[in-house]
Structure 1
């Protein structure tokens, strides 16, 4: 019973707030008509109404999602255009006023019921008359409840009908997203190739030159002890070259990801992170592309924490969600990470290529949280 009363109260508040905002929408439409008329006479595009229209629509989205039953889906309609927002407001005010009329009838019915109860209490009405009034009141209450539910359903339908883009707009947006993600992937691949080339040139290649010089000196030397020392140095250099080559290969693509899975690969990242890292990855094997993206999200975030917040602690959490996986990396450093930086923007492009998303929350003072949502086919 308490849940029913709570839901009814939210519905009543939602309809009343919708009626109040309908008045604001009517005022906006009158002002917008005047602005459009003035701007068109001056030969300019009327852009001044776009921002207020979006603000009013955002209020309606919040109201429907917060108070009306089944309104949670409306909260996801965030890709509407300003033109659709104005069209929605041009019709929604009528629904709001209708809801206000239903609310007034409901309040009038409650007031009339209170008067009937008072008359019965003071003996002004007979029990038979009050019984007939109660039956009529229950019928009116049923009609009022149906009116509230009908207004709520109409509100939801109108938002879904006018704020959702058409098929053509969705296709065009999807094509733009695919083109952008493809360009981003190409840019990320090029950047990774340049990084590998730089690592090989500045690290491995220089060590190979040094190794060649040591072996050359050992070959030309006449002092046996000196030659043995040079060979020992060459052997140490070869071991360091091998370790650096493995490091370059690991950063390009870790073999453990294919052989042992994501959890083991992330444990290696924690060991090599340079800062204390705790990993919670209870998921089973994922599609290869998803595992790769999740791995690089964690690797880049841990690397950034070690570079910009060397005294921080990092927490990595990988968990299943509906039709996908969520990767969260949090450090208690000073914050201020730039999402448009090369590393994080590359991760965002990698996630977008899988129809996923990457969110960076790093307020000044910390903490920094990098969250990637990656769908799994």
Structure 2
């Protein structure tokens, strides 16, 4: 209901701006155009034309974004006076058409109310008596007209959007240039993310596995030098070897979890939940397999988010949801009840954002002070 009211307000404003645009174009043709032939007034006339045309175009963009939800058309500012003037010239009839449909709709609704009120009082509006076949005939005719009016209003909104995208949106060259810039940026960020991941793996191997291997060698050396304590030292060395295997397994999972290839994303996420010291509830709503790059990105987003919630957020509960959207995207949402205040510019979250951006996805972190923290990634799944 709120959306319908918002669209109706937008159409009403569109009819008003259509009439205003028609008046401004007529004024420009009668007053400003002759002034262009006078060198003394040409600069002032051009300034008025530019300001008026761009101002009306910006007003239309604001209306489309505010009342019709077309944020893409409302955000672009790369058009010039010629494109804006062309848009206003072809758009004003559409605005007046929407206003005419609204007026006819209001007139029809008012007529129905008058007839219903008259029949309720025992009168015969316009000499029409209250009989069931008359009510059925008029009701059927009114429903058909209401349906046509509704379809007409929907068509006007769609036509408004198409005109805005055609004349006020980015051209093919602009879209191609923006896409090239996005790909160049994404490529550089992927290289940085890969380098950061390599450094983290090297640090884990150096600070974890390597140090434990040194300790294992020292224990075995002590066992050789002290036969009396060999049993105790060998037992310690055995425990140390188990820790080394766990660390190596953890590093291998950070590089690439083999469960993704063997068992799929659902099983890999289940293992992340099992290894977490904090309880993790998993809601997995996908029915088929995703492309391998998408599964890998989803896995690393979940793994990093769960690790951050465990180590830094002091969370007591983590929930994970993997769902699909109608527009061909898979959404991964991780929520924890920790202290919040996560920094999206941190190295870990920045790496995840770069990984998601490399797939043309969207990554968002919402972490107010005091929590909860929500990490959400939308990944295209083809």
Matched, 1:80 2:83: no
Change (3 A) 1:363 1:25: farther
Structure 1 equivalent of residue 330 of structure 2: 325
- The number of residues matched between the two structures is 342
Structure 1 equivalent of residue 296 of structure 2: 292
Alpha-carbon separation, structure 1, partners of 2:125 and 2:153: 33
Matched, 1:171 2:176: yes
TM-score by length of structure 2 reads 0.71
Structure 2 equivalent of residue 267 of structure 1: 270
**1:194 CA drift (Å):** 0.3
Task: Identify the match of residue 373 of structure 2 among 365, 368, 371.
Answer: 368
Structure 1 equivalent of residue 248 of structure 2: 245
**1:188 CA drift (Å):** 0.8
**1:126 CA drift (Å):** 8.1
Change (3 A) 1:318 1:106: closer
**1:12 CA drift (Å):** 5.4
Structure 2 equivalent of residue 182 of structure 1: 187
Structure 2 equivalent of residue 70 of structure 1: none
Matched, 1:202 2:207: yes
Residue 83 of structure 1 aligns to a residue in which SS? coil
Residue 79 of structure 2 aligns to a residue in which SS? helix
Structure 2 equivalent of residue 309 of structure 1: 313
Alpha-carbon separation, structure 2, partners of 1:214 and 1:51: 80
Structure 2 equivalent of residue 254 of structure 1: 257
Provide Cα deviations, 1:44-92, integer angstroms capped at 9, x if missing partner: xx99x99997676233233234xxxxxxxx4554662353699287555
Structure 2 equivalent of residue 351 of structure 1: 356
Gaps of 5+ in 1: 66-73, 128-133
Task: Show the 5 A alignment for 1:102-113.
Answer: none
Gaps of 5+ in 2: 33-42, 129-137
Q: Does the Cα contact within 8 Å between 1:324 and 1:373 map onto a contact in 2?
A: yes
Structure 1 equivalent of residue 133 of structure 2: none
Change (3 A) 1:111 1:372: closer
Alpha-carbon separation, structure 2, partners of 1:123 and 1:249: 86
Structure 2 equivalent of residue 276 of structure 1: 279
TM-score by length of structure 1 reads 0.72
Q: More displaced, 185-194 or 16-25?
A: 16-25
Residue 175 of structure 1 aligns to a residue in which SS? helix
Alpha-carbon separation, structure 2, partners of 1:349 and 1:165: 25
Residue 68 of structure 2 aligns to a residue in which SS? helix
Provide Cα deviations, 1:181-231, integer angstroms capped at 9, x if missing partner: 111111111011000111111111111222222222333x2x421233333
Provide Cα deviations, 1:3-43, integer angstroms capped at 9, x if missing partner: 9xx9998875442132345689899999xx9xxx79x99xx
Q: Does the Cα contact within 8 Å between 1:275 and 1:314 map onto a contact in 2?
A: yes
Alpha-carbon separation, structure 1, partners of 2:203 and 2:125: 97
